[in-house]
Structure 1
Amino acid sequence: MASKPRLHYFSGRGRMESIRWLLAAAGVEYEEEFIKEKEDWGCEKLRKDGSLLFQQVPMVEIDGMKMVQCRAILNYIAAKYKLCGKDLKENALKDHGQDYLVGNRFSRADVQLLEVILMVEELKPDVLSKFPLLKTYKGRISNIPTIKKFLQPGSARKPPTDEKEYAECIKIFY
């Protein structure tokens, strides 16, 4: 059995949150190694062995690779777990079905749109009040079993970044 993906980032949402969402949508369990101190960010071992390409995080260890760059990581996960269209034309979003954004199946696009909707609702709870189709869409995607599990209290989903967490992040990365 392959080992679980290992995520390297600080404990907040940031650029890793979309990766967490996509892995959760695929039903993939993962481990996280949080960067808590500036010395962790230095990650001398990771830097010396070449793991931190461009000296940056997030980094995901998956299938024997150490990947950085969010878009590359998301593309890899979407392709590996078939959370994308069945071909390149479907991935371009031209033809979609009734229930999903790509083709007629659940995909990375659905996951990322739901993530954005929920983040905006945290700031403005009634944002969907004038958009009944988006409200219905949100309900439908939120009830997909893997997504529903990720939305439950106690899941790996991170809460909104507060002032304390923001200050910690600044202390680590700057």
Structure 2
Amino acid sequence: MLTNNFEEIIMTDLCFYQPEHGKELRGFSLPDEQMQFTRLPNKAIDQAIQDEKMHPVVVLSGNTAVGFFILHYGEGIRSFTDNPNAILLRSFSINHIHQGKGYGKKAMHLVPEFVIEHFPDIDEIVLAVNEKNLAAKQLYEKSGFQDKGNKRMGPKGMQYILHYHLDAKK
């Protein structure tokens, strides 16, 4: 069946980072206005390799790495939440050449199932978004994240802490 809705035909998947993704992820670019709010994947991967509680995740379209983020748990996320069963989503980005195609939205809708599958003890996903990054905040809220009024000072200004409660149906 043919469709005029491009989003319906986007083939997107999430997987843990593998070395074969490295070349594409090192080639990521972001506009300056987005760079102030996130890190490029190569910087985030370097940090994650040093910390066993950080798990780099790749957003795939077919075999092409179009996006990236880190899932982080443990004591290192206590400035974001005091829930010991939470995981922090950080460094989310979609490569500039792939933006505007629905990959970010699709990836955010896949994250809860991915977390439930790979981190069965986690009951909440949290993330921080800069108060000036309204487009990202809207994306996260449309994907089911909730603003419960929690804020923190981040490296580039005040951040909203958003929450996604995972259902107990695991």
What TM-score results when the alignment is normalised by the length of structure 1? 0.24
Higher strand share: 2
Greater Cα radius of gyration, structure 1 or 2? 1
- Greater RCO structure (CA 8 Å; 6+ sep): 1
Higher helix share: 1
